[in-house]
Amino acid sequence: MEQHEIRRPLLGMTLAELETVAAEAGLRKFAAKQIARRLYVNRARSIDEMTELPKASREWLSEHYCVGLQAPVKASRSADGTVKYLFATRGEDFDFLTSGKGGRDVEAVYIPDRDRETLCVSSQAGCKMGCKFCMTGRQGFHGDLTAAGIINQIFAIPESPTLTNLVFMGMGEPMDNIDEVLKALEVLTAPWGLAWSPKRITVSSIGKIRELRRLLDETKVHVAISIHSPYPAEREGLMPVERAYPIKDVIGLLREYDFAHQRRLSFEYIMWRGVNDDLRHADALSRLLRGLDCRVNLIRYHSLPGSPLRTASEAVMTAFRDRLNEAGLTATIRASRGEDIQAACGMLAGEARG
């Protein structure tokens, strides 16, 4: 079988990168903005559509580059309107991984909710963090997605034109792939790109401190931190990364930034029956977060095969929320979406490929 040449995708490139491409094609520097407009505003599907460029330049570009759009290979639809999309990470003529062994596809989840249309995107195939309650972590690490692989999830679904919000809460730890995530965020928010407000985007993290500082310094997107227990030893049993990135150090970093005006800070707290759902935990969490302008999202646990963990009851979650609110924190119980198609929080796994 003939091997196809893998051309570099233009999708996901920053303006500086497109300026380099334009120079390679013998074009003036301003052509980079024309290419960016075709890619990110007009949503071109082929280089031939970039008619502002000379025909000879388009032909040269087509030999060495492609737009890079890849349609999802599968869509699963929930009774509640949620749609889970499966995307290939590698093919005969494309590669959306910068590192890793590959062998696993990634998933993105579209969540409609009244006047909001949110897409939950992945930043890695699998994950290195090893959290005990997460299906993605069970898969191990298979590779970092390129900025093209991240942006493709946003552009290649039919609901793309009407999306209102993005959350980097899919497969992988965004801070573990910080360079490509920052490139994708630049494309999403820059005036030459999609020109989205950073307030439409939330990036979730376990709290890799150096990389989290980069995100906070270089962007104004909202931030969500996975905490799940206020007690270090207990958190370490659930999230091995507590050893390398203690939650007290993560919170110490967050206290250096202004979350009252520029962006929103959230803490994600999955609730397990008899593990972290009593009022003692609520009080300890209140003490840990005291003085931070933040909110706490309480999340129902979605059981995984072979796991002894079970979700807390509705009554217990309500009492926990009320206790946090009484202590001056803003706490809410997040609605569960897409559980019937394995699209809810902690359930994304992708599919293995031969």
Instruction: List the beta bridge partners of residue 120.
Output: 109, 167
List of residues 6+ apart from 38 with CB closer than 8 A: 44, 49, 50, 52
The amino acid at residue 209 is I
Token pair 């609901």: residue: 159
Sign of CA dihedral 247, 109, 136, 221: negative
d(CA 140, CA 160): 29
Which of 19, 107, 242, 268 is the catalytic position? 107
Exposed e or buried b per residue across 144-173, where buried means at least 16 C-beta atoms within 10 angstroms of its C-beta: bbbbbbbbbbbbbbeeeeebebbbbbbbbb
Q: In the annotation, is 173 catalytic?
A: no
Which of 120, 134, 294, 345 is the catalytic position? 345
Query: What is the DSSP code string of 208-237?
Result: -HHHHHHHHHH---EEEEE---SSHHHHHH
Token pair 């003692």: residue: 280
Q: In the annotation, is 294 catalytic?
A: no
Q: What long-range pairs does 135-139 form, CB within 8 A, spacing at least 24?
A: 135/304, 135/342, 135/346, 135/347, 135/348, 135/349, 136/171, 136/172, 136/346, 136/348, 136/349, 136/350, 138/304, 138/349, 139/104, 139/349, 139/350
The 3-state DSSP class for residue 76 equals strand
Angle between helices 178-189 and 209-218 (to 10 degrees): 20
* Residues labelled as active-site residues: 107, 345
